[in-house]
Amino acid sequence: MVSDKTPRIARIWRGRTTRERADEYEPYLYEVGIRPLMEKALGVQNFREDREHESEFMTISYWESIEAMSAFAGKDPTKIHHLPRDEEFLIELPEGVQILRILVAHGRTG
């Protein structure tokens, strides 16, 4: 296991809501989902893409290892722990997250 705090793993979550609910979902996602994640992950990025009828949100969190990510996300880090109001906001509940090894990182992202 890597002992330094260099990001080696990216965990990517995606969810879609209607355009009408996107402005309401954005601060909810931040307060209930992103802020707790910011306390545990090495870094977090949250994105929003508005389309004609829907908005997609994507959250990328960065971790030094699968073990560190599992300490936050649970035994199976690919399993999603939906936020209490996700069923109300999201068009469909995502079934999983994407976990990628970081091969190269360069420059500033924050």
The full set of domain ranges for the chain reads 9-101
Q: Which pLDDT does position 75 carry in this prediction?
A: 83
| CATH class of the 9-101 domain in this structure | alpha beta
CA distances in angstroms from 33 to 1, 20, 29, 62, listed in the order given: 27, 20, 5, 15
Give pLDDT tens digits for 51-93.
999 999 999 999 999 998 888 877 888 888 899 999 999 999 9
Amino acid at 61: S
Q: Which pLDDT does position 1 carry in this prediction?
A: 45
The reported pTM is 0.91
Nearest to 98 by CA among 58, 67, 71, 65: 58
The C-alpha angle with vertex 38 and arms to 37 and 43, in degrees rounded to 5, equals 110
